[in-house]
Amino acid sequence: MQLKRYLELTADDLNVEYHVHTKQTDGQSTIAEILETAQARGLAAIAITEHVRKDTTWFPEFAADVRAAAQGFQNLVVYVGCETKALDTAGTLDISGDIRARCDLVLGSVHRFPSESAGYLDWDQLYDTAFARTEYELALGLLTSARIDVLAHPGGMYQRRRKQPFPEDYLRNIMMISVKTAVAIEINTSYLRDVDGFLKLCAAVNPYVSIGSDAHTLEAIGQCRNVLRSKKVGRA
Ligand SMILES: [Zn+2]
Ligand SMILES: [Zn+2]
């Protein structure tokens, strides 16, 4: 699915929610509840983006359930998506070909930091600089080598755990690579420690962008749209 560049966004393009989890994994709501909420909030489109791994077996049935439920919502465009993590800095994804083939939208995420010894690094043991650099390198692999549509929550692990903005140079480079690869960068205000700084960079570099709240509750659906509207993002 091809997304637009930041400066091409219209007010209508903001009216979407492209990062949602259901009860199938760690979200709290059913597919029907989520679609009803999206419709009630006037969203034009939504993507259900469940966590998947290579060995996930429930996805075909789940994707069919999403598409069946969507039939009841004529004014809402419903996409089947997934969120999958980077397994290394070469862009290897934790996803099967079968799952990918069933998705309209694939989010690639940095969730864990793989270590040399096939385990994961303990991020509490990393200096801030090493933490940020490791997350950046994993994100670069996703952007340049993985078949994804969106880099989800760039710098998100760092911002959540270290409670400060992701280094601006890293963000700028990530956005510049998006311009070349046409992989979208997620604007996800639930992770950003400096929303205005991030949007300013978006305006300067003009990457491809996706809008998602990483909603795990009904309350969170459309939250990122609301923040962007309040900041007057998007052309009239
Ligand atoms: Zn994630
Ligand atoms: Zn997520």
0.95 exceeded by pTM: yes
Q: How far is the CA of 153 from the centre of ligand 2 (A)?
A: 8
pLDDT of residue 139: 98
Q: What does the pLDDT look like over 142-188, one tens digit per residue?
A: 999 999 999 999 999 999 999 999 999 999 999 999 999 999 999 99
Q: How far is the CA of 168 from the centre of ligand 2 (A)?
A: 23
Exposed/middle/buried for residue 145 (C-beta within 10 Å: 0-12, 13-18, 19+): middle
Instruction: Please state, for a pLDDT cut of 70, what percent of the chain lies above it.
Output: 100
Q: How far is the CA of 236 from the centre of ligand 1 (A)?
A: 31
pLDDT of residue 95: 98
Predicted confidence (pLDDT) at residue 1 exceeds the cutoff of 90? no
Q: How far is the CA of 49 from the centre of ligand 1 (A)?
A: 10
C-alpha span between 146 and 137 (Å, rounded): 13
Q: How far is the CA of 85 from the centre of ligand 2 (A)?
A: 10
Looking at all shown ligands, the one closest to residue 220's CA atom is 2
Q: How far is the CA of 123 from the centre of ligand 2 (A)?
A: 19
> Quick one: DSSP state of residue 7?
G
Looking at all shown ligands, the one closest to residue 157's CA atom is 1
Q: How far is the CA of 152 from the centre of ligand 2 (A)?
A: 8
Q: How far is the CA of 20 from the centre of ligand 1 (A)?
A: 10
Looking at all shown ligands, the one closest to residue 112's CA atom is 1
Predicted confidence (pLDDT) at residue 118 exceeds the cutoff of 80? no
Q: How far is the CA of 148 from the centre of ligand 2 (A)?
A: 14
Q: How far is the CA of 27 from the centre of ligand 2 (A)?
A: 9
Q: Using CA of residue 29, residue 190, residue 175, residue 118, what is the dihedral sign?
A: negative
Ligand 2 (single-atom ion) residues, CB below 5 Å: 83, 214
Looking at all shown ligands, the one closest to residue 109's CA atom is 1
64-to-34, 149, 209 alpha-carbon distances in Å: 16, 21, 27
Q: How far is the CA of 188 from the centre of ligand 2 (A)?
A: 10
pLDDT of residue 165: 97
Query: How many residues are present in the chain?
Result: 236
Closest listed residue to residue 185, CA positions, set 235, 143, 230: 143
C-alpha span between 226 and 232 (Å, rounded): 10
Looking at all shown ligands, the one closest to residue 82's CA atom is 2
pLDDT band at 236 (very low <50, low <70, confident <90, very high): confident
pLDDT of residue 94: 97
134 vs 236, more confident: 134
Q: How far is the CA of 107 from the centre of ligand 1 (A)?
A: 8
pLDDT of residue 53: 97
